[in-house]
């Protein structure tokens, strides 16, 4: 917490203290998710599985991401999306990135404080983000998702400050009320805190690696049109408190028209459409309460939106919670099997297919951890390529076996199908070398070779080591079914390649 002693530290020190506190004790899950999403999507070779792994660490976050991905705004064709990997295929990598960050912000902030200033700030952020993306795309810009994120996070400092809700927030709220509506909020913030909340946004943007456009949009003198559109969209949302026909809103619309180089009439129509889309997006992200807050933000005092009169409870009432082992979901298994078949018809891709299989094993079959491993080109080592579930990165780094050292994992490459290795069963300890046990633990695990023709190229692996649950016959049968589907897909892709 920032110091409040009479010998107050310099503003820079106060700001650093806030960033450190938010990083380490207040919203570490949001900070970690933001950093990890940024790290994955900042690389040209990043895959859908790596982005999925970030999301799958948090079950409520996964649910939000998939709910938004299936919403009419993002998925107007209503293509069924049951996995994060599938979402990347249907919607694109950048779109799923923006959905992930949006869902992470709502999950971290709205789930625990779904009221007051926090809800207002989130509503303003979602509305401005949808407006900014639509305008960027309308002017022919190629940075729609980047602008969406910049607008969404334009007031991140305000959001987390009011979410924290400590004594500093109480003092600032009292000072703002005393200053009245005509005062400059930034000046009041500096007087009370020693820094403006825009500076907190910029500092968090750097610490959480949110991208340069987030910081550029905070600069009134920025020349980048995308940054100016993100900033102007927030000005529009703020002006709409006075109504669509108010001088403030009309001035904001004219400003956006100039920035985008688009006729005012078109910008005005687009803004009205985007306001409706913003409400849809908010409903998918945070349920009726957030949607109603967006609806209120889209109208002035002379208009009373029907949806704002009876807000629904927040969707699912999710709250941040410790990791919970996934339960088998036969309906989800069936949906993913259908989507795997569709993938082979639409865009055959070995890696994406295997990534979807991993999500099926984790979320559908209820395995705590799942990975696929491939043989190195010289066929000397078996090395994990991607993993999902609890401690996925730890498992991926540890799963590396030389083929010249026989063990239960290496032997599975020669198996005719899926194998359930259970150390507690009779004869189940064969091949469980110390190296294998260090990775798998003493519980049961499933393995199945991946083949192209008769040649093994790698294997699927899944276990329930983190939760210590057994693997029953039904779960093993489901694991085998998805392994068979993976091998059928590999065979079909190989046939297609040859022909």
Range of the structural domain that residue 423 is part of: 330-498
Residue-level pLDDT at 112: 63
Backbone torsions φ then ψ of 233, nearest 5 degrees: -65, -35
Q: Do residues 31 and 144 both lie within one domain? A: yes
Exposed, middle or buried: residue 489 (CB in 10 Å: 0-12, 13-18, 19+)?
Answer: buried
| Token pair in block for residue 17 | 């203290």
Residue-level pLDDT at 302: 47
Q: Do residues 245 and 338 both lie within one domain? A: no
Q: Would you tell me how many other CB atoms lie within 10 Å of the CB of residue 203?
A: 20
Q: Do residues 69 and 165 both lie within one domain? A: yes
Contact criterion met (CB below 8 Å) for 210 and 34: yes
User: Which CATH number characterizes residue 66's domain?
Assistant: 1.10.3210.10
| Whether this model's pTM surpasses 0.75 | no
Residue-level pLDDT at 308: 38
Q: Do residues 152 and 30 both lie within one domain? A: yes
Q: Which of 289, 317, 345 is the last residue of a domain?
A: 317
Residue-level pLDDT at 428: 60
Residue-level pLDDT at 459: 96
Backbone dihedral region of 219: left (phi > 0), alpha (psi from -120 to 50 degrees) or beta? beta
d(CA 313, CA 130): 23
* Number of structural domains in the chain: 2
Judge whether 411 lies within some domain.
yes
Identify the H or E element spanning 445: strand 445-452
Q: Do residues 73 and 157 both lie within one domain? A: yes
Dihedral, CA atoms, 122, 124, 129, 134, nearest 10 degrees? 140
Q: Do residues 168 and 244 both lie within one domain? A: yes
Residue-level pLDDT at 226: 92
Q: What pLDDT tens digit does each residue of the chain (499 aa) get? A: 444 444 455 666 678 888 887 766 667 667 777 777 767 766 666 666 777 777 887 787 888 889 999 988 888 888 889 998 888 888 888 888 888 888 888 887 876 665 688 889 999 999 999 999 999 999 998 889 899 999 999 999 899 888 887 788 889 999 989 988 888 998 999 999 888 899 999 888 888 878 788 889 988 888 899 999 999 999 999 999 889 999 999 999 999 999 999 999 999 999 999 999 999 999 988 888 888 988 887 665 444 444 433 334 333 333 445 678 899 999 999 999 998 888 877 766 788 889 899 999 999 999 999 999 999 999 999 999 999 988 888 899 999 999 998 899 999 999 889 999 988 876 666 789 999 999 998 889 999 999 998 899 999 999 999 999 999 999 999 999 999 999 998 988 787 777 7
Q: Do residues 61 and 124 both lie within one domain? A: yes
Residue-level pLDDT at 154: 92
d(CA 64, CA 74): 13
Judge whether 4 lies within some domain.
no
């Amino acid at each position: 917490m920032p110091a409040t002693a009479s010998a107050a530290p310099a503003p820079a020190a106060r700001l650093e203290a806030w960033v450190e506190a938010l990083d380490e004790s207040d919203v570490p899950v949001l900070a970690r998710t933001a950093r990890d999403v940024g790290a994955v999507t900042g690389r040209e070779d990043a895959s859908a599985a790596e982005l999925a792994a970030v999301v799958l660490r948090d079950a409520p976050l996964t649910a939000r991401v998939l709910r938004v991905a299936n919403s009419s705004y993002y998925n107007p064709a209503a293509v069924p999306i049951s996995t994060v990997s599938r979402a990347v295929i249907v919607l694109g990598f950048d779109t799923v990135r923006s959905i992930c960050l949006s869902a992470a912000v709502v999950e971290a902030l709205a789930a625990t404080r779904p009221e007051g200033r926090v809800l207002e700030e989130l509503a303003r952020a979602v509305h401005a983000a949808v407006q900014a993306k639509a305008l960027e795309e309308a002017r022919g810009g190629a940075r729609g998702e980047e602008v969406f994120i910049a607008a969404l996070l334009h007031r991140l400092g305000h959001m987390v400050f009011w979410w924290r809700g400590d004594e500093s927030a109480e003092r600032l709220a009292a000072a703002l009320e005393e200053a009245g509506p005509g005062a400059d909020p930034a000046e009041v913030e500096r007087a009370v805190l020693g820094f403006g909340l825009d500076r907190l946004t910029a500092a968090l943007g750097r610490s959480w690696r949110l991208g340069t456009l987030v910081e550029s949009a905070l600069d009134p003198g920025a020349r980048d049109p995308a940054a100016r559109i993100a900033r102007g969209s927030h000005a529009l949302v703020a002006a709409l408190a006075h109504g669509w026909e108010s001088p403030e809103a009309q001035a904001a619309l004219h400003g956006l028209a100039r920035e985008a180089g688009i006729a005012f009439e078109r910008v005005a129509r687009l803004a009205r459409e985007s306001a409706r889309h913003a409400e849809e997006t908010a409903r998918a992200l945070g349920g009726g309460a957030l949607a109603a807050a967006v609806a209120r933000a889209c109208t002035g005092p002379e208009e009373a939106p029907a949806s704002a009169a009876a807000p629904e409870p927040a969707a699912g009432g999710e709250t941040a919670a410790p990791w919970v082992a996934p339960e088998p979901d036969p309906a989800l298994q069936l949906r993913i099997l259908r989507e795997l078949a569709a993938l082979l018809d639409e865009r055959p891709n070995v890696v994406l297919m295997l990534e979807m299989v991993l999500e099926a094993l984790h979320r559908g079959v209820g395995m705590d951890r799942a990975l696929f491993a491939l043989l190195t080109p010289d066929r000397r080592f078996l090395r994990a390529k991607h993993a999902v579930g609890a401690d996925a990165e730890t498992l991926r780094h540890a799963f590396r076996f030389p083929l010249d050292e026989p063990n239960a994992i290496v032997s599975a490459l020669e198996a005719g199908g899926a194998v359930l290795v259970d150390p507690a069963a009779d004869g189940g300890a064969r091949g469980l070398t110390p190296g294998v046990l260090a990775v798998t633990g003493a519980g049961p695990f499933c393995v199945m070779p991946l083949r192209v023709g008769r040649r093994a190229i790698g294997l699927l692996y899944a276990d329930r080591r983190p939760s210590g649950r057994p693997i029953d016959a039904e779960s093993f049968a489901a694991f085998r079914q998805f392994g068979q589907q993976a091998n059928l897909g590999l065979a079909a892709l190989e046939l297609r390649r040859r022909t």
